[in-house]
Chains A and B, each alone.
Chain A
């Protein structure tokens, strides 16, 4: 009995050690190393002979800022985050509201259907959409033609490629946040609605005055998760457009991949990675700040 605290502590260390070591060696360590790497010109020459490695200070970062491709990638990424993100959330919220309507039947089944795209393999469904989006033989243009809309060269036209990827991303992801919203709506006390009804509020007013405020914390949380996730757009352009047309679907992460693992400029790829990290951090902090202002925990 007396030895117990010692044993407990020892067991504690032993139990956390494997996971902690793995995380330090394979995550924190490399992340720190990447920071150092970003100040070197580590490339294929250095891979061949480490004597070809130079410390270059901030040069990777300054060159990145001078590289028009980076700005294109940044623009594309932000477009995806700030257009695709809110659209996805709007879709999630709408679906959640529909699925909490009393009159809708077979809710569990429908929820499963809506959620299915989330668990499917991203690469596989991106391939499916690539064909659905085909200008000539794709179903999306076929459907649009029924509505009297002319064929759109979705993945071939620089203006449409990123919107096409957003369409896909909304389809793929909206189910996830929908489930969170459904849970949040479910936890809104029913008497709030009853009271509003007695006050003669229309359904729309009830949504604005009861549902939306009650969902505030969930929406904030979901927006942080969604947007940080959307900053990491990579597989969709890799599979569907290979960054094209005219680089309009090159994202920051796509750029990192090409710099790092296609051309083996590991130094400048690390710089790209840290810029991405910095942006995500700033966004999370801003959203955290908003949360604080609104008194959300």
Chain B
């Protein structure tokens, strides 16, 4: 009885270790050498399959992988920081990096990089740069991500186009023609209301940045952003895009196959999904192409993707770095691509998999030459959410474009107040 009570008490006090995370490696490995790894979504699911070789080479290391759903990942990481429960190493969306650097959650990697097999010049420049903050390196790109257009060739052809028109106006014209063909209950493009990324991607192809003054003030009332938002709004006003969010559509692939919409701005993981989930008969009828050219004369898209970071609180940094080096080997990157469809961060892996010439990923290769990072403010994620919310309200008639951009500025400036104060004190590493 006493024993049992003791066990219960010990369990109550101890952090939980049961269950869902999977442990890889020799169970006899010294318990002090268990690396806690957080991966998101599909990446978290498959990373274990990459590990066997690493574990053979490093029999004294165990890797415990926990998978976080993407929708909750950012929140979970912040919560873990707040509760001192961060892992040793994590996958992290590279647009989140400024935030985790500012709060001192992740460690610098410059020291490790000398004498390493990780070579900076093999990476896409725009992507690598998102990991450098104030001249210091905080993450190693794991895979790259940007957004391009996925579309149906058949409806586009039926509307009289062999290829997707290259600029915003031409693109909208094509959408209009498609809409005229498909009729009342169908649309030309889907821009889910619960995603800010499509709007953000369009807003990269104008000259004005979204935040100004070292990312301490909103710049939504700039000419460029207003132009973007007007364009975006017109797609809804003209009925080219449905006023709906993704959760209302029970299956995006079925609806694409059914022709509910013909264009979708999305990322590389959907190449695999489209191949797998679209019916056989449709496989020749879809394609990818870079974003249309915006008012600035270039078709920018977002420098997205995930990096691997080492948490400052980790006491196993050398082992963690070994793992990062392993996951960054071009052949492992290639294998990772085969498993996930995530595009490798290193160009040598692209060549290895003939990705640069593949008919679907080629659009991404082109697009990756023109990518811009998210604004380097830790508050960006929050601002982006506010931007999304105000945009939805605008589309539902609560604001016009001018009202919306002022509201966005107001919300952004309020969120950024603390950042302005801290920068003025010089108490931030930026």
Contact = CB atoms under 8 A, between A and B. Distances in A.
A49 B427 contact: yes
Contacts of B396: 158, 246
B193 interface: yes
Given A41-B418, A45-B102, A264-B82, A137 B393 contact: no
A43 B417 CA distance: 12
B422 A45 contact: yes
Given A244-B245, A246-B393, A44 B250 contact: no
A137 B248 CA distance: 11
Contacts of B250: 134, 136-137
Interface in A210-238: none
Nearest to A241: B247
Nearest to A52: B422
Contact of A244 (B81, B194, B407): B194
B248 A156 contact: yes
Interface in B75-114: 75, 78-79, 81-82, 99, 102-105
A296 to B, nearest CB: 44
Contacts of A49: 104, 427
Nearest to A262: B75
Interface in B363-381: 378
A149 to B, nearest CB: 19
A2 interface: no
Given A47-B82, A52-B422, A247-B389, A153 B103 contact: no
B82 A246 contact: no
B395 to A, nearest CB: 9
- Considering residues B103, B104, B422, which has the most beta carbons from chain A within 10 angstroms of its beta carbon? B103
Nearest to A48: B103
A246 B392 contact: yes
B80 to A, nearest CB: 11
Interface in A43-101: 43-45, 47-49, 51-52, 54, 63, 67-68
B414 interface: yes
A35 interface: no
Contacts of A136: 250
B212 interface: no
Contacts of A263: 78, 382
Contacts of B214: none
Contacts of B230: none
A279 B392 CA distance: 30
Interface size band for A: 20 to 34
A18 B78 CA distance: 34
A35 B407 CA distance: 30
B244 interface: yes
A137 B244 CA distance: 17
Contacts of B79: 261
Nearest to B393: A246
Nearest to A266: B82
Given A47-B103, A263-B382, A156 B82 contact: no
Given A44-B103, A245-B193, A263-B382, A135 B422 contact: no
A100 B194 CA distance: 48
A114 B382 CA distance: 43
A135 B82 contact: no
Interface of A is mostly: loop
A43 B418 contact: yes
B248 A48 contact: no
A44 B78 contact: yes
Contacts of B82: 44, 47, 264
A45 B75 contact: no
A158 to B, nearest CB: 7
A63 B75 CA distance: 23
Given A63-B414, A246-B392, A48 B78 contact: no
A244 B248 CA distance: 12
Interface string B262-296: 00000000000000000000000000000000000
- Considering residues A41, A135, A156, which has the most beta carbons from chain B within 10 angstroms of its beta carbon? A156
Interface in A137-164: 137, 153, 155-156, 158
Nearest to B72: A262
A43 B378 CA distance: 12
A135 B245 CA distance: 13
A61 B396 CA distance: 29
A245 B245 contact: yes
Contacts of B244: 156
B382 A153 contact: no
Contacts of B393: 246-247
B101 to A, nearest CB: 10
B245 A48 contact: no
Given A49-B427, A51-B427, A135-B248, A264 B78 contact: yes
Contacts of A244: 194, 245, 392
A29 B410 CA distance: 36
Contacts of B78: 44, 262-264
Nearest to A44: B103
Interface string B223-247: 0000000000000000000001100
Given A52-B427, A136-B250, A47 B81 contact: yes
Contacts of A158: 396
A43 B422 CA distance: 12
Interface in A148-203: 153, 155-156, 158
A51 B422 CA distance: 10
A194 B392 CA distance: 61
A45 B396 CA distance: 35
B1 to A, nearest CB: 21
Given A137-B250, A264-B82, 9 more contacts: A45-B102, A45-B103, A45-B418, A48-B81, A63-B414, A134-B250, A261-B75, A263-B78, A263-B382
13 contacts: A43-B418, A44-B99, A44-B103, A45-B102, A54-B421, A63-B414, A67-B414, A246-B389, A246-B392, A246-B398, A247-B393, A262-B78, A264-B82
Interface of B: 75, 78-79, 81-82, 99, 102-105, 193-194, 244-245, 248, 250, 378, 382, 389, 392-393, 396, 398, 407, 414, 418, 421-422, 427
Interface of A: 41, 43-45, 47-49, 51-52, 54, 63, 67-68, 134-137, 153, 155-156, 158, 244-247, 261-264
List the 6 shortest-distance A-B pairs measured between CB atoms, nearest first: A48-B103, A156-B248, A48-B104, A262-B75, A246-B396, A246-B392
